Amino acid sequence: MSKIGKKNNGQVLLARPHITEKATMLNETNKFPIYTFVVDPSAHKTEIKKAIVALYKVTPVKINIINMPAKKVTRRGKVGTTTATKKALVFLKVGDKIEMA
């Protein structure tokens, strides 16, 4: 089993690409291509950079991290919370692309 994009204990580092309208507009309107990923809450920038290089064969120029807090929700009259997540904004060089299938 491959350990690319995983931590030492086998936990997945890059959960999934975060493809939304806002994320797509970020990619199209800025001078640098920007891709958004949902990552493991304990992931660091250096680990994310290594995973991007190993999985997609591109070197990021910079990585920004956004901690998304949990939110209160009401479902069927019960109060609960959504899961807190962490997003990574990956900035690439001009001309580099990540193919999302």
Interval 28-85: pLDDT, tens:
777 888 999 999 998 999 999 998 988 889 999 999 999 999 999 999 999 999 999 9
Q: Is the dihedral of CA 11, 82, 44, 98 positive or negative?
A: positive
Cβ(64)–Cβ(88) under 8 Å? Answer: yes
Whole-angstrom CA distances from 8 to 2, 20, 43, 88 are 11, 30, 12, 20
Separation CA 27–CA 69 (nearest Å): 24
pLDDT at 76: 94
pLDDT at 27: 76
HSE at residue 51, side-chain half, CA atoms within 13 A, is 26
- What is the CATH number that goes with domain 14-92? 3.30.70.330
